[in-house]
Amino acid sequence: MDTAKKPNGSLSGLRVLDLTRVWAGPLATRIYGDYGADVIKISDPRVPLVTENGLNSKLNRNKRNIGLRLDKSEGRNIFLELTSISDVVIENFRPRVMRNLDLTYEILIQTNPHLIMCSMPGFGLEGPYAEYPAFGTTAEALAGIPGLTGYDSSLPISSGMAYGDPVSGLNAVGILLTALRQRNITGKGQFVDIALAASPACNLGEFFGASSSNGYKPEINGNKSIQYCPHGAYKTKGDDEWIAVSVIDETAWCALVDVIGDTDLKSEKYLLLGNRKKDESFIDGRLSAWFESQESSDAMIQLQNSGVSAGIVSNNRQLLSDPHLNERGFFVDMDEPRFGVKRYDGQSILGNFVDKSNWTTTRDVGESSKEILVELLGYTNADCKKLEQEETVLFQ
């Protein structure tokens, strides 16, 4: 056995056919791409890639792209040929789409019995809502996220960010590699169905456990916490600038009171969580009055240095200029062909991923069609010409 790290990333040698769109699926395959897998994105040649808003560019780096009409028999054949030399096929259409294309798992394993296929529909492949369309926001609603979020119980509040998607994407990353490990042991392929709506529910396990056991019903009360006090976001100096503060114990409480120098809060009774909870709105009022005149970043550093958990409520601009993320080299600057250098989030799993200097920007629809057909499948230039004329494959 070779004892050195794999030079081209942990997942080099793994091939993934990526039919996913929007967020959840592309997020999962982006992690594979960052780690050196050969991710081949299959795009419909009739649909131009939107790059003006940065979303596709952010999520589809380090992937190749073939523009392929799956609804044409020649195109479908090419897809099957690619399937025969791939480890994973991943898609997030509504269930009927792959059925209509006659590209279900049952069909694909006839071509490649070792294949891992993953479908990521909104509600799962079976069940009463299976064919219903879904979106990240509706998925999180069914899972109970907005039902537990709000200023009070009268109005549930969505996450504001289609939370079903990122949770599902992370679930896919792990489970597909687990399935691949199983395949390496048994030699058999595997089908994986990830429901967008089920993913956030699995991040609320304790709520369901307690509800099933003793009817636990959490109070919907803004950022208030039953175990910590004070706990919330406080307005600071500047336009819509805030700081989050979370006092976890007596020591942190004393440190907070010292920092803001409020003698009224120095009272011995407030050493007890129960008494702080009782007077929470009074305490919040005093804190708000103090924070109002503070710069959020300065207050965060002062509080953290004194042992109080605090953090500025970063907006996108602050996130991009965050000193911690920048010092750690978290971001990546990529030279986009149409837009110049753009800064994106890098990789959060700091293992053996492909060196950032070798990362590639998002390929346009069909940009890798030729190399894939010629180098991977042995097509000739004449074959490619014909496929182009028939509008089965787009070459760019």
Active site residues: 165
Do 149 and 156 form a contact (C-beta atoms < 8 A)?
yes
Stretch that binds another protein, among 41-49, 271-279, 317-325, 367-375 (CB under 8 A): 317-325
Q: Which of 104, 159, 302, 360 binds another protein (CB under 8 A)?
A: 159
Q: Which of 84, 97, 107, 191 binds another protein (CB under 8 A)?
A: 191
Extract the tokens encoding 293. 């005149």
Spatial separation of the C-alpha atoms in residues 344 and 355, rounded to whole Å = 15
Give min distance, CB of 394 to another protein, in A: 22
Give min distance, CB of 190 to another protein, in A: 6
Spatial separation of the C-alpha atoms in residues 154 and 97, rounded to whole Å = 39
Nearer to another protein, 211 or 396 (CB): 211
Segments in 216-347 forming alpha helices (H) = 250-260, 273-278, 280-291, 296-306, 316-320, 323-327
DSSP letter (8 states) at residue 6: P
Cα torsion angle, 117, 118, 119, 123, sign: positive
Stretch that binds another protein, among 46-54, 66-74, 273-281, 382-390 (CB under 8 A): 46-54
Q: Which of 107, 277, 307, 383 binds another protein (CB under 8 A)?
A: 307
Residue 175 binds another protein, judged by CB under 8 A: yes
Nearer to another protein, 218 or 337 (CB): 218
How many residues sit close enough to another protein to count as binding (CB under 8 A)?
A: 154
What is the bridge-based pairing of β-strands 231-235 and 64-68? unpaired
Tell me how crowded residue 362 is: count the other CB atoms within 10 A of its CB: 24
Stretch that binds another protein, among 171-179, 259-267, 364-372, 373-381 (CB under 8 A): 171-179
List the one residue out of 233, 293, 289 whose CA is nearest residue 262.
Answer: 289
Residue 47 binds another protein, judged by CB under 8 A: no
CA angle centred on 283, ends 278 and 285, rounded to 5°: 125
Stretch that binds another protein, among 41-49, 311-319, 357-365, 378-386 (CB under 8 A): 311-319
Q: List Cα–Cα distances, 356 to 8, 54, 311, 360, in angstroms.
A: 11, 19, 29, 9
Do 116 and 90 form a contact (C-beta atoms < 8 A)?
no
Tell me the residue type at 262. D
Extract the tokens encoding 271. 């050493």
Q: Which of 18, 91, 165, 367 binds another protein (CB under 8 A)?
A: 165
Give min distance, CB of 340 to another protein, in A: 10
Spatial separation of the C-alpha atoms in residues 187 and 113, rounded to whole Å = 8
Q: Which of 80, 97, 107, 204 binds another protein (CB under 8 A)?
A: 204
One symbol per residue from 106 to 145: x for binding another protein (CB under 8 A), - otherwise; what is it?
----------------xxx-xxxxxxxxxxxxxx-xxxxx
Residues 206-245 that bind another protein (CB under 8 A): 206-218, 222-223, 225-228, 231-233, 235, 240, 242-244
Spatial separation of the C-alpha atoms in residues 376 and 384, rounded to whole Å = 13
Nearer to another protein, 132 or 395 (CB): 132
Q: Which of 152, 268, 327, 335 binds another protein (CB under 8 A)?
A: 327
Nearer to another protein, 246 or 396 (CB): 246
Q: Which of 100, 102, 351, 377 binds another protein (CB under 8 A)?
A: 351
List the one residue out of 142, 132, 206 whose CA is nearest residue 168.
Answer: 142
Nearer to another protein, 14 or 257 (CB): 14
